[in-house]
Amino acid sequence: MTDTESSRVSDNHDRVGQSRSRWLKLCLRWHWISSALALSGMLLFAITGITLNHAGQIGAAPQVVVIEDTLSEELVQHLSASQSRANGRVPAELAGWLASEHDVSLTGGVAEWSEYELYISSPRPGGDAWLSVDLETAEVVYESTDRGWVAWLNDLHKGRNTGDAWVWFIDIFALVCVVFCVTGFGVLWIHSRERPAIWPVVGAGILIPVLLVALFVH
């Protein structure tokens, strides 16, 4: 090999090495950024994945609160003529009465009207509540169920009755996890020449769940 050819080969190796180094730095930068952003969320979803998987084995006694009362005639008349019927919102006057008389909040509740009854459902993570108003007798029945912190965490995992903000968080968190995984794969790819065990381990990570599904999940 001539000196010119040797110099050309050396230059090619240098360029490849520089390009590899740039990609490695880029992957490592985004890998640590995404891991830092996803750390708390990943711990939450990993732990609640276990609690969801063993939900039937984790005992919890739901706490139920029941309130029975009677509305004033004036408030019942106002509800009967309420403009909230069309939009499904909880009437402000009823919400104010509940808060002042019984320290109850129906934030986020959905109102359903019939000719003789107002029914409000207010589901939330780890529990739910409902309220019924008989528009003829003015009787009010409120019931709230709290299924405990494990159920609350499980509902956060599923995004059940958590509101738009938490749903957006789950979507953004999922994208951050995708970045974390892709950049981690990039780091593995770059180091695979020096570490031949990388691809067998990656293959095992793919093959094990596939075999479990194929053999044991029916």
- What are 106-136's pLDDT values in tens digits? 777 888 888 889 999 999 999 999 999 999 9
SS3 annotation, 55-94: HHHCCCCCEEEEEEEECCHHHHHHHHCCHHHCCCCCCHHH
**Within-domain flag for 197:** yes
pLDDT tens for 130-167 read 999 999 999 999 999 999 999 999 999 999 999 899 99
Buried b (16+ CB within 10 A) or exposed e, 191-216: eeeeeeeeeeeeeeeeeeeeeeeeee
Whether 67 and 143 share a structural domain: yes
Do 111 and 82 fall within a single domain?
Answer: yes
Decide which of 91, 112, 147 is a domain's last residue. 147
How many CB atoms neighbour CB 98 within 10 A? 20
pLDDT digits (tens, 9 = 90+) for 47-74: 999 999 888 788 778 899 999 999 998 8
Q: Is residue 4 part of a domain?
A: no
Domain end residue (candidates: 147, 181, 199): 147
Do 132 and 205 fall into the same domain?
Answer: no
Which tokens hold the place of 7?
């110099």
Q: What value does the mean pLDDT take over residues 170-196?
A: 92
Say whether pTM exceeds 0.85. no
Q: Which domain holds residue 88?
A: 63-147
Q: Strand, coil or helix: what is 109? A: coil
CA atoms lying within 13 Å on the CB side of residue 68: 2
Which secondary-structure segment (H or E) carries 161? none
pLDDT of residue 8: 54
Same-domain status, 40 and 143? no
Sequence-separated (6 or more) residues with CB below 8 Å from residue 118: 79, 94, 111, 112, 132, 133, 135
- Other CB atoms within a 10 A radius of the CB of residue 172 amount to 13
Count how many domains the chain has.
2
